[in-house]
A and B are shown apart, each in its own frame.
Chain A
Amino acid sequence: MTDTEIREFIGQAIQENDVMLFMKGTPEQPACGFSLRTSGALNALGVKYAALDVLPDPRIRQELSELSGWPTIPQLFVGGELVGGCDIVIEMYETGELAEKLGVEMPDEPKEAPPAAGADMPAQQGPIALENRLD
């Protein structure tokens, strides 16, 4: 893939998926504590979301950050707009703003926000894969 193709792929993923998370690793196997917490907040709310692992190719992260103006991973987009990284998503989860933005109810017994960020876990290798939970 060329840099331009990667950029177009990212732009398309943001436009086509109402809730789009760029993360290190996958929701099943997050490869970074911050990505773990962020996908955990979405999981706790039970929303469907698409997730893209940025680790397989460093250009994904470069192109994404240029496009969004946000330097770190994870990045959550809702309705094509950047909501934020881990700090903002967790803060909004805790205040109920995230549930409101996503049009879902806060769970009656909200699960604890996902485990505290720890040391990075080993990176996974693999092809660029968009795990689309909207299917």
Chain B
Amino acid sequence: MPSTQDLEQRITSALPGAQVSVEDLTGGGDHFRAEVVSERFAGLSRIEAHKLVYGVFGDEVGGAIHALSIKTSTP
């Protein structure tokens, strides 16, 4: 079962320099919310920015990570 720290680390390694905050919405280790602030999102649509974050986890989203709610912004 992934922890919020695992998720934060994985997003940060995929998007170096990003400020990442992950919250476990239910305490059950499978519904998460991630707030990510990164320069990488500059010029991207919301869809593209969210896909970058989803992309970190591949098939795990919908699997072990049942739900990942995302909020992206630029610094």
Q: Taking beta carbons and an 8 Å cutoff, which residues of A are in contact with B?
A: 34, 61, 65, 69-72, 82-88, 91-92, 117, 119
Contacts and interface: CB of A to CB of B under 8 A. Distances in A.
Contacts of B70: 87
Query: DSSP majority for the B interface?
Result: mixed
A69 B26 contact: no
Contact of A84 (B50, B61, B62, B68): B50
B50 A87 contact: yes
Interface residues of B, number: 15
20 contacts: A34-B67, A61-B62, A71-B54, A71-B62, A72-B54, A84-B46, A84-B47, A84-B50, A86-B69, A87-B69, A87-B70, A87-B71, A88-B46, A88-B47, A91-B46, A91-B71, A92-B46, A117-B25, A117-B69, A119-B26
Interface in B14-63: 25-26, 46-47, 50-51, 54, 59, 61-62
A92 B50 CA distance: 14
A30 to B, nearest CB: 14
Contacts of A91: 46, 71
Contact of B62 (A72, A88, A92, A117): A72
Contact of A69 (B51, B62, B67, B71): B51
A123 B65 CA distance: 18
Give the interface centre of A61, A70, A71 by most chain B CB atoms within 10 Å. A71
A116 to B, nearest CB: 10
A88 B26 CA distance: 21
A12 B26 CA distance: 36
Contacts of A72: 54, 61-62, 67-68
Given A65-B62, A72-B62, A72-B68, A88 B51 contact: no
A98 B62 CA distance: 25
B5 to A, nearest CB: 22
The 7 closest A-B pairs by CB, nearest first: A71-B61, A88-B46, A71-B62, A71-B54, A87-B69, A87-B70, A84-B47
